[in-house]
Chain A
Amino acid sequence: MKCVTCRGPAVIDIRRHNANFCAEHFLEQCRRQVAKAIDEFDMIRPGDRVLVAVSGGKDSLAVWDLLRELGYDADGLYVGLGIGEYSETSGGYARRFATEHDLTLLEVDLRDTYGYDIPTGSRAARRAPCSACGLTKRHLFDAAALDGGYDVLVTGHNLDDEAAVLFGNTLHWQTEYLGRQLPVLPARDGFPKKVKPLVRLTERESAAYCIVKGIDYLVDECPMAAGNKHLVYKAALNDIERASPGAKHAFYFGFLARASERFAEEAEEDRGDLHACPTCGAPTTADTCAFCRLVEKAGGSLGTSVAVSLGRRNSQVVS
């Protein structure tokens, strides 16, 4: 197997591109794909203040590193979810990466700040763990981005994530979700701008990027994700991909190019009458936002401000 660029020994094959790459040119390929996504979807503009949601896993560390390589000055945000040893370990990977690269890592600890964690919150609210976790993270990411004055919130969603969500939403014809499944969500109605620069890379490629770059990440799966439908969708799509390389890319980017606009109206209607949550100020269509309801059911409390400890470059604590 030879590198498509230099004809040297390849370390990875990317079948949907019908190409093999050596380590050096694979990293170049990853940077090129991320730069293309940022440019194509107008994700980040020069001078933007960028916040990356960092979990300590391969995708978030890869996107943080790729942004750094591409010249973006991005801070990280880690949320301690209180999922036992898994959370303790994942936080260690995020902190180590920030320290090694002299980057700023903001931290929010769910239990310290809001008095609950994902296991207790999901049980109390009778939500699936991944649902409680997703709701919590979205709220805290949005709040930290807005409170910190960031222009863009970056997440590590990759092509497999987006294709799996699209697969699930299509399977159940959740048209209101289809209308807002985009690689960029503009800032509006109290939400920060959110972007997904890894949409042109698969999970295999973001993991390979970390291995080639020597980025240590948490390999173990979240113990609460077992049985999650997204894993089933991803496996199904990878079976299709094996038989038809490029299928995931065609599915997702074909949707963006030819179908997503058709569902925009329904997504807009689904937003309904957004107003500020009387408890926390976050946008909601309900009397009280879903996050505040979760906190209440979990027996937690809403801090009057988000406690944020700043990383190496700024080591004070803001509360």
Chain B
Amino acid sequence: MAGAASSRVLDGAGPCDHGKVNVLLRNPRREIEIDGPITVVNLLSRLDLNRESVLVIRDGELVAGDATLADSESIEIRPVISGGHR
């Protein structure tokens, strides 16, 4: 998934400080780097993620789909789908 987006896995890495968008993914928790600048919609598309299934968060706040993520920014892509027979 991330390979096509010229990213690499950075297990446990801290915020990116060398010109890429640092992306935290969950379940399982992992971090990748993506070339920026890139809009949220394009980032999700590049990672083949359905916008209905995730939210993008930056500094604890939601980021709109048309927002552009600049190099060196850190964001979280949080899945919102929970399972189990409830």
- A positions within 8 Å CB-CB of B: 1, 9-13, 20, 23, 57-59, 128, 130-131, 133-134, 137, 155, 157, 160-161, 202-204, 206-208, 211-212, 214, 219-222, 224-225, 228, 230-231, 234-235, 238-239, 241-242
Are B85's CB and A242's CB within 8 A?
no
Against A, the Cβ 8 Å flags (1 = close, 0 = not) of B11-45 are 00000000000000011000000000000000000
Nearest B residue to A55, CB-CB: B86
Are A211's CB and B62's CB within 8 A?
yes
What's the count of A-B pairs with C-beta under 8 Å? Answer: 101
The dominant DSSP class at the A interface is: helix
The dominant DSSP class at the B interface is: loop
Which of B26, B52, B84 is the one whose CB lies under 8 Å from A204? B52
CA A242 to CA B53, docked complex, whole Å: 10
Chain B residues contacting A211 (CB-CB under 8 Å) are 55, 57, 60-62, 78
With a 10 A CB-CB cut-off, give which of A9, A10, A155, A204 has the most chain B CB atoms: A204
Q: How many residues of B contact A (CB 8 A)?
A: 26
Which of A12, A130, A157 is the one whose CB lies under 8 Å from B62? A12
Are A134's CB and B82's CB within 8 A?
no
Are B82's CB and A238's CB within 8 A?
no
Chain B residues contacting A219 (CB-CB under 8 Å) are 26-27, 78-79
Q: Does B3 contact A (CB under 8 A)?
A: no
**12 interchain pairs, CB-CB under 8 A:** A1-B66, A11-B64, A12-B55, A13-B64, A23-B62, A134-B85, A137-B86, A157-B86, A204-B53, A208-B55, A211-B55, A211-B60
CA A207 to CA B61, docked complex, whole Å: 12
Which of A203, A222, A228 is the one whose CB lies under 8 Å from B80? A203
Chain A residues contacting B84 (CB-CB under 8 Å) are 130, 133-134, 222, 224-225, 228, 230
Q: Does B6 contact A (CB under 8 A)?
A: no
Closest 10 CB pairs of A and B: A231-B83, A207-B80, A130-B85, A225-B83, A11-B62, A238-B52, A225-B84, A134-B85, A228-B83, A1-B64
